């Protein structure tokens, strides 16, 4: 009798596993294109470990990509359903007739860090010095810094300091070796620099405040096609709910971050804490409507600095850049 009970128990477990597998196979799939070593992969890892996507009614297919440009190409070619990009890219695509749209993902953007021995106490002290810049001459942080310079120093920063455009990992290395006195890098590289003893000079919050922007600005977000979302409304909403649930766990649980640590490629506790705290600080709190209003204000600043090379034919933030199907307009 005992043997039969155990056998029935095993059969019941196998049946449950089979049912779960069938249910998972029947769920709609969202293909998410993500940089292999980007911070977005941390959130997707939390979603997958906790089964948050399946709980909300969708299955994730993570498509690893090597470069940001590869993500854009994959999205333009419909090889993926969702990527992370900024709303400036979305606005430009919409101005050219493509129906991409945006849901805020993170506020975390770069800032200016300086070496403690560089003799730089204020922004104007960078005159004549080298500033390493990640992302190229059309990087949004660099363009906003140029606008900030016009406001505070009275000159375009590109005219009175030497901007060296360098890949983010190399930029950090040059900074730590003492070959650059200052750097404007993406937020997670800046967090690593701070943990290594570099000094914050200007945060993006400081820059935006000087430019009259005093509300939170999500520069990056989930990007997808409106047509795809209209055809798969349950899938996109389930994915966004799973994303929000993952962020909540990452905001509230230190244990989640302990599990993520191997993926973060950190060698010391100070860097680990800086990355954890930086990610948490970047979780948006504003409604979609509030974020869109701030983006309209910042679009004008960026368009003035970057011109058509940045925004293309767009004259203003295109209608629909922020997803009209998003909650809390």
Q: Beta strand pairing status for 162-165 and 100-106? A: unpaired
Answer whether residue 20 shows pLDDT above 90: no
CATH number of 23-106+218-311: 3.40.190.10
Q: Where are the domains of the chain?
A: 23-106+218-311, 111-210
Q: How far apart are CA 56 and CA 239, in angstroms?
A: 7
111-210: what fold?
D-Maltodextrin-Binding Protein; domain 2 (3.40.190)
CA-nearest of 100, 166, 155 to 130 is 166
Q: Specify the pLDDT at position 5.
A: 55
Do 323 and 227 touch, CB atoms closer than 8 A?
no
**Segment 242-283, tens digit of pLDDT:** 999 999 999 999 999 999 999 999 989 999 999 999 999 999
3-state helix, strand, coil in the chain (%, to 5): 55, 15, 30
**Segment 84-113, tens digit of pLDDT:** 999 999 999 999 999 999 999 998 888 999
Quick count: other Cβ atoms within 10 Å of Cβ 166?
20
Q: Specify the pLDDT at position 327.
A: 52
**Segment 195-246, tens digit of pLDDT:** 999 999 999 999 999 999 988 889 899 999 999 999 999 999 999 999 999 9
**Segment 177-209, tens digit of pLDDT:** 999 999 999 999 999 999 999 999 999 999 999
> Can you say how many angstroms the Cα of residue 115 is from the centroid of all Cα atoms in its chain?
26
Q: Specify the pLDDT at position 68.
A: 73
DSSP secondary structure of 255-312 = HHHHHHHHHHT-SSHHHHHHHHHHHHHTS--S-HHHHHHHHHHHHHHHHHHHTHHHHT
Q: How far apart are CA 172 and CA 168, in angstroms?
A: 6
Answer whether residue 10 shows pLDDT above 80: no
Averaged confidence pLDDT in the chain:
89
The model carries a pTM of 0.87
Domains 23-106+218-311 and 111-210 share a fold: yes
Residue 101 dihedral angles phi and psi, to the nearest 5°: -145, 170
Across the chain, where does the E strand assignment appear?
29-35, 59-65, 83-86, 100-106, 111-114, 130-133, 162-165, 182-185, 199-202, 220-225
């Amino acid at each position: 009798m005992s043997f039969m009970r155990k056998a029935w128990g095993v059969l019941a477990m196998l049946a449950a596993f089979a049912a779960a597998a069938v249910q998972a196979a029947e769920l709609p799939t969202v293909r998410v294109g993500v940089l292999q070593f980007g911070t977005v992969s941390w959130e997707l890892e939390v979603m997958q470990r906790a089964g948050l996507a399946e709980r909300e009614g969708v299955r994730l297919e993570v498509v690893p990509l090597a470069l940001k440009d590869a993500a854009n190409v994959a999205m333009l070619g419909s090889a993926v359903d969702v990527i992370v990009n900024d709303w400036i890219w979305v606005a430009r695509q919409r101005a050219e007739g493509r129906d991409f749209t945006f849901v805020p993902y993170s506020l975390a953007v770069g800032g200016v860090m300086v070496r403690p021995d560089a003799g730089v106490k204020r922004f104007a002290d960078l005159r004549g010095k080298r500033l390493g810049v990640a992302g190229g001459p059309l990087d949004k942080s660099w363009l906003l810094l140029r606008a900030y310079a016009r406001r505070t120093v009275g000159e375009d920063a590109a005219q009175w300091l030497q901007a060296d455009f360098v890949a983010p990992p190399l930029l950090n290395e040059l900074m730590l070796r003492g070959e650059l006195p200052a750097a404007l890098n993406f937020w997670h590289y800046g967090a690593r620099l701070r943990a290594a003893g570099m000094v914050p000079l200007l945060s993006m919050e400081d820059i935006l405040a000087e430019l009259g922007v005093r509300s939170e600005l999500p520069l990056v977000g989930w990007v997808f096609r409106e047509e795809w979302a209209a055809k798969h409304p349950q899938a996109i909403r389930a994915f966004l709910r799973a994303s929000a649930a993952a962020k909540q766990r990452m905001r509230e649980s230190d244990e989640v971050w302990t599990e993520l640590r191997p993926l973060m490629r950190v060698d010391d506790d100070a860097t680990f804490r800086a990355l954890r705290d930086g990610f948490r600080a970047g979780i948006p709190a504003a409604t979609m409507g509030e974020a869109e209003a701030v983006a309209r204000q910042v679009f004008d600043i960026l368009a003035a600095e970057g011109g058509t090379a940045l925004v293309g034919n767009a004259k203003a933030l295109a209608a629909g850049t922020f997803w009209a199907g998003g909650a809390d307009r």
